[in-house]
Structures are given as C-alpha cells and as structure tokens.
Amino acid sequence: MAHEANFDGLIGPTHNYGGLSDGNIASASNSGLTSRPREAVIQGLDKALSMHSAGLWQGVLPPQQRPYLPYLRQFGFSGTDRELYEQGWKQVPGLMKNLISASSMWAANAATVSPSPDCEDGRLHLTPANLSTMLHRSLEHEQTGRALGSAFPFAKVHHALPGQSVFSDEGAANHVRLCANREEQGVELFVYGRDGFAAPTSGFPARQTKEAAEAIARAHNLRPGHTVFARQSRAVIDAGAFHNDVVCVGAKETLFYHELAFEDTRTLQDDIRQAASGLFEPVFVEVPEKSVPIDDVIKSYLFNSMLVQFPDSDRLVLIAPTETRDMPSTRDYCEMLVCGNGPIGEVRYVDVRQSMRNGGGPACLRLRVTMLQKEWAQVKPTMKMDGALHASLKHWAEKHYRETLSPSDLPDPNLMDESFTALDELTQILDLGTGFYPFQRDFS
C-alpha cells in the first residue's frame, strides 16, 4: 500500500512582501504591503491539519534561518550578529531584503521527488532545487537538504544541481506524477521553460531548464520509457506562470491544465499516453481559454490547487484558494466541473491569503511525497502532523511571531533575535537536533 503525503513548509517569522520575484505578478503588485506573519503561519497550519483530519498523510518542514547571516560574513561584514544586521541594512539594504525572505514556505519548490516504485533502485529519491534564478530562493537548498535528510532518513537525498543558469531548477512545482495505483510504476512528467544552452530570450524569466529536468530524471534512476519531458509555453510564462503548477496540476490518472499551458499539447498527450501504456489510461482535463482566460488563472490560482484523493472516495477533490471562489470565471468553471462525471468530484476552498499575496497558493505550500506504508513508518515522527503537533506549533507561533511586519520594521535587529529564538525552540518541538540552523553552530 502507498499514499501521497503532503509536507507543508511552515511559514517563517519574517514573512513579508519584498517584491523579490520578477515574473511573479502577485509578488510585484503586493510589494511593500504590511504582512501578518502570525496569521500566515496559522493559515498554513490549519490547512495542514485539515488534510490530516481528512485522512491524508501530512507532515511539516521547518522554516529556514532568516536572516541568513553567513552571506554577510562571507561578503566582508564582521562583528556580533546584531552589528552585522545593522551594518547590512545601512550598507546593502537590497541584499538584506533577500536574506530575510521567508520563501522556504513554498515547499513545492523544495525538491523534485521520485517515489520508489518509479526508480530502478527501488528507493525514494529527492533532489533539493537549486532555485538559482532568484537570489532570495537560491539560499534555500542547503537547509532544505538537511530538513529532507532528517524527515526521510531512508531516502536518497541528492545534492542540488550546480547553481548555474544551464541547470536552473525549481523542483516539484515543475513535476507531476501520474499513476493508477500509487504503489506501482507511474509516469513522471517534467515541465521546463527553456533550453539551458539556448540564447536568453526577452520576457519574464523561465526558471526551469530541460538540462536540469533530464539530469534529475537520470540521477533518480527513472525508467526512460515512463518519463516525459514537455515545454511550458512562452505565452503563459509571460502572463505570469513562473512555475508549471500555476497552470497545471495532476494526480492519479488525471492531468488538469489550462489550454495555453504547454508549447505543444498534442505531443504532450501522445507522450503521456505512450509512457502510460500498459499501466493506465491517462485522463486529460483541459480548461479552455474561452472559459477561463489566462489572466484570471493567474489572479485566481485555479491550478495552484491540491488535487487529492480522500480515503473511501473514488473521485478527486480540488483544494483551491478562496481567490478561485471569489473570481466569477473560475467559480463558474469549478461549479460546472463537479456537476460533470469527470475525475474531479468536489472543490473545497482554503484561505491562504497571506501566502497568496506573494504568489504562493495551497499547492505551493506543500511538497508531495508518495510513500509505501513501510516508508511512511520510517518518517521522523516529530515531523508528522496531528492534532497535538498543530496545537504546539500554534502555541509556538502565538508566542513568537509578530502580528504585523511593514517594510520599515525589517531593519530592527530585535526581529532577528525574535526569529532566532523562535527557530531555536522549534528545533526542540520537531526534534531537529542541536546545530540544525547555522546560528546554532556558532557561525551565524
């Protein structure tokens, strides 16, 4: 028996709207707003608990150390942590905005995950994403690797690919696994936005290369006959789909996507059918541009939903952001979708507005890890979500997180101290061991 687990990235104490992600419309348009870190982390925790309560396997991944002071030391600043922080904000405020970002909350970008039935060596493989396109995100992969190693001690956790443009990688946000039964061979679809060796084009950045996708598929020991590569369309990247999971989500046999998502949809369908032949019949649910225009897709995050199967239900459930309910075209589409007899039988809405304002919907906040029962049994127990962990994390957040953070609050060194105190206590709650964070290892 196997199930899909969701591991949600806990939203960190420095959650703010930095306007750091070129090509991510929500990040740009909400830049400089006052954020609500406590509300944000609780929204994420409530979503995670609701999945656990509905019978899914659910875990959490810790937020990362922010501010990330090792870079300041490497870049020639010295003194105590507080001195570093103050000098940094005086001399390099643009850099500091990157070093303070709580972006590791978007766990769909933490890694690419290949479940053990797909891998020749029969092991679960994870490759932390180098996230090399955006400075604030390129800081993540080292701490991500440590967190994944801690959560999945039995798995093969690879190094991130080289942090270079040819190998730009954004993890599971550009990866979909389709299958009939989760414990059996599936089809892994890798979606990339550019050829790493091609000359740069104008427009918003394409954050995933073909070279990165191919390298990961090879390193994960995937069977080539069951692996598909497809190109994301330039049109959707320029409309604001900086990851494939803004225009596509898949689960079991079903791929749910927008008409404009891919450069060549017919070839994609043929390739998936061929890769699935003898295993299952893929089901394609394509949303036409005339029903939901791409701009509405980007605003509502219709596809950045979790497509899950609850126990004892044949049909899939779409866990969509409340923004999808509030937009007429997407609400109407969802109503029509569940009235039909297709694979998606229900849509539930979840409020993750704090994250949404930075371009992160319900699907961004979780990393999917399909595991056999015997693998789930080996997952670090303190990172598995249940009512008790939810209560203790909520209490922890209420104790340590600020209610609001405005851009003028960020240079306050007390924010750093508060963040480190919170993370220090979190290492005990999640039993991450001493020295998990750089500041706990004497080289902050």
Q: Which is nearer to ligand SUG, 185 or 355 (CB)?
A: 355
Rounded to a whole number of angstroms, the minimum distance from the CB of residue 358 to ligand SUG is 4
CB of 41 to ligand SUG, least distance (A): 16
Say whether 248 is catalytic: no
Shortest Cβ distance from residue 168 to ligand SUG (Å)? 12
Complex with ligand SUG: residue 72 or 410, whichever CB lies closer:
410
Residues 439, 416: Cα–Cα separation, whole Å: 11
243 annotated active-site: yes
> Quick check: is 170 catalytic?
yes
Closer to ligand SUG at the Cβ: 45 or 249? 249
Report the C-alpha gap between 93 and 90 in whole angstroms: 6
d(CA 409, CA 119): 47
Q: Closest CB to ligand SUG among 20 and 327?
A: 20
Q: How far apart are CA 156 and CA 153, in angstroms?
A: 8
Give me the catalytic one of 4, 170, 211, 323.
170
Confirm if 36 and 43 have CB atoms less than 8 A apart: no
Least spacing, CB of residue 191 vs ligand SUG, in Å: 12
State the catalytic residue, choosing from 364, 375, 390, 400: 364
Contact positions vs ligand SUG (CB under 6 A)? 17-21, 24, 27, 101, 103, 106, 108-109, 134, 137, 173, 242-243, 245-246, 304, 358-360, 364
Contacts of 335 (CB under 8 A, 6+ apart): none
**Candidate list 243, 258, 390, 400, residue with the active-site label:** 243
d(CA 354, CA 363): 14
* Residue 361: CB minimum distance to ligand SUG, A: 7
Annotate 326-338 with b (16+ C-beta within 10 A) or e (fewer): ebebbbebbeebe
Residue by residue, DSSP assigns 312-358 as T-SSEEEEEEHHHHHSHHHHHHHHHHHHSSSSEEEEEEE--HHHHTT
Active site residues: 170, 243, 364
